Structure 1
Amino acid sequence: MPTTSAPSGAAVAVRGLVKRYGGRTVVDDLSLAARAGEVTAVLGPNGAGKTTTVECCEGLRSPDGGEVRVLGLDPRADAAALRPRVGVMLQDGGLPSGARAGEVLHHVAAMYARPRDVDELVERLGIGSFVRTTVRRLSGGQRQRLALAAAVVGRPEVVFLDEPSAGMDPQSRLAVWELVRELRAAGVAIVLTTHLMDEAESLADLVHVVDHGRVIASGAVPELLAAGADGPDGATSVRFDAPAGLDAAALTAALGPGWTVAEPRAGAYVATGPAGPRAVAALTAWLADRDVLATRLTVGRRTLEDVFLDLTGRHLR
């Protein structure tokens, strides 16, 4: 898999980061980088160490080893200098539950010398419909939109976004993605953690995959999709629904060399390999021999989700 180091000129540079909790190492000699004018996605299963890594970058936790620099500064020692230059969107929002949404945003904006126009952000992110609602009464998606607005209202040079579109409807999600792309175009360094592989695939310029406290793969999305693929255009995924519990190993053998078959969710199958008419015919013939009717069968290119599962495994954490 492609890999990348943490160059000294990066907006966020992590080198050899180590973090332990009660003698258990959750981040183990991890290095990664994020550059200005790019979206850097940090992906990993639950418990992989990605949130702890980002919290060290945000100055919320102290490393036990290694070095973290944001805009060339130490997030803990130089917190006062970094605060007006960095925006943070936490997954739980970190917002005062008793305050109204509009009050929160105006209060945060007042802390900065040159804040964005609050009314413009309210309009962009559809906050107007709940601007007078207290935070505790907001839905999960509404709270996420408010937290994103609070993270970017100060015109930060670096923004950390933790699951920015979690719980959002498609319209809200689209508005968030458009704002992220606008920030990137303005030269902001954006560090994104998400479990939505299509979000990372759509937005990220660079992806770091983290597992067991280490970066196990890094690269641009096209590089990751092509790595290890059979054929010039990368491997192809054949996706289909069928009764749960099919013999994936037997189907893999029937399809031949270069193929893998997985059941990431009960009754939902992904066969990945050098697909062509013969391979698809072999797959449907194998199912027909067992009197199994596949539904929603689609053939498409390998996705970032396929890569993620290949790297981190398909078992539950």
Structure 2
Amino acid sequence: MTAPPTSAATALSAQDVHKAYGKHVVLAGVDLTIRSGETVGVVGENGAGKSTLLRILCGDLRPDKGSVVIDGTLSHCPQHPVLNNALTPFQHLNLFQEAFRLRNLDHAHELIDRLAFADHLHRPVKVLSGGTRQKLNLVLALMHDPDVALLDEPYQGFDWQTYLAFWDLAAARRAAGRTTVVISHLAYDIDRLDSVIQLTGKVAVLTKGADR
């Protein structure tokens, strides 16, 4: 994957981000700069603070110290879907359409077609498989075509074809100049990414893309 031009604008930056839960330090001085149009992976061992970092970047969690700047619209896809079991996927789409003030659901339906779960749109979430719930979770995060998307293990529970469809989506976002940040545990994702940020020792280390 060819890296975006070095002149690309900064889409997301974080400076000296710290977070602790009591005496347990999770993040200790994380600095990040991510450019527009990049697809970036965040990796690290369990407990390294990956999900905490994404929650801070999206504003869901306040850091103990440090600052975050986002240029443009933002979306966060959490690792565990936050859905209403009594509603159908279509009803979720209608709610999010109102929240995002979208004129129509055209882009949402494009995403649904890519992820191949149109047959489940009118079934209550409570009867859906974990993989289908995760597909809905991802569509809700991307249906307003955000400038920056923060995705926490977005393909958890996907079969191989849907996993590949996800990376097609990421490539399409990149081609459109959108920025995607993905938490991943899968080593074979690396070649699909412009940069890899490894959380190690509670700080962030750029392990790929240092020549940008």
> TM-score category by the smaller chain?
0.7 to 0.9
The answer on 1:188 being equivalent to 2:178 is yes
Out of 204, 207, 220, the residue aligned to residue 193 of structure 2 is 204
2:14 counterpart residue number = 14
2:160 counterpart residue number = 170
* Paired residue type of 2:90: G
CA contact (8 A) 1:36 1:188 kept: yes
SS in 1 for 2:166: helix
2:144 counterpart residue number = 154
The answer on 1:127 being equivalent to 2:117 is yes
Out of 71, 78, 90, the residue aligned to residue 102 of structure 1 is 90
CA distance in 2, matches of 1:116, 1:45: 38
Deviation, structure 1 residue 110: 2.8
Superposition map of 1:29-44 within 5 A: 29-44=29-44
Q: Which has the higher contact order (CA 8 A, sep 6+)?
A: 2
* Paired residue type of 1:139: S
CA distance in 2, matches of 1:107, 1:121: 17
CA contact (8 A) 1:30 1:215 kept: yes
1:244 counterpart residue number = none
CA contact (8 A) 2:195 2:206 kept: no
CA distance in 1, matches of 2:133, 2:186: 18
**Deviation readout 1:158-179 (Å, 9 max, x if unpaired):** 1011111111111111111111
* Paired residue type of 1:210: L
Deviation, structure 1 residue 116: 5.2
Using the size of structure 2 for normalisation, the TM-score is: 0.88
Q: Percent identity?
A: 31
CA distance in 2, matches of 1:153, 1:41: 21
CA distance in 2, matches of 1:217, 1:36: 17
Superposition map of 1:178-257 within 5 A: 178-199=168-189, 201-220=190-209
Deviation, structure 1 residue 187: 0.8
Deviation, structure 1 residue 111: 2.4
**Deviation readout 1:34-60 (Å, 9 max, x if unpaired):** 211110111111001111111100111
CA contact (8 A) 1:16 1:66 kept: yes
* Paired residue type of 1:120: E
CA distance in 1, matches of 2:197, 2:105: 30
Provide structure 2 residue ranges, at least 5 long, that are not aligned to the other structure: 1-8
SS in 2 for 1:11: strand
CA distance in 2, matches of 1:119, 1:96: 20
CA contact (8 A) 1:49 1:211 kept: no
Check 1:33–1:160 CA distance in 2 against 1; reply closer, same or farther (3 A cut).
Answer: same
Residues paired across the two proteins, number: 201
CA contact (8 A) 1:97 1:136 kept: yes
Check 1:185–1:116 CA distance in 2 against 1; reply closer, same or farther (3 A cut).
Answer: farther
CA contact (8 A) 1:41 1:193 kept: yes
Aligned CA RMSD, in angstroms, stands at 1.8
* Paired residue type of 1:194: S
CA distance in 2, matches of 1:109, 1:203: 30
1:143 counterpart residue number = 133
Check 1:142–1:202 CA distance in 2 against 1; reply closer, same or farther (3 A cut).
Answer: farther
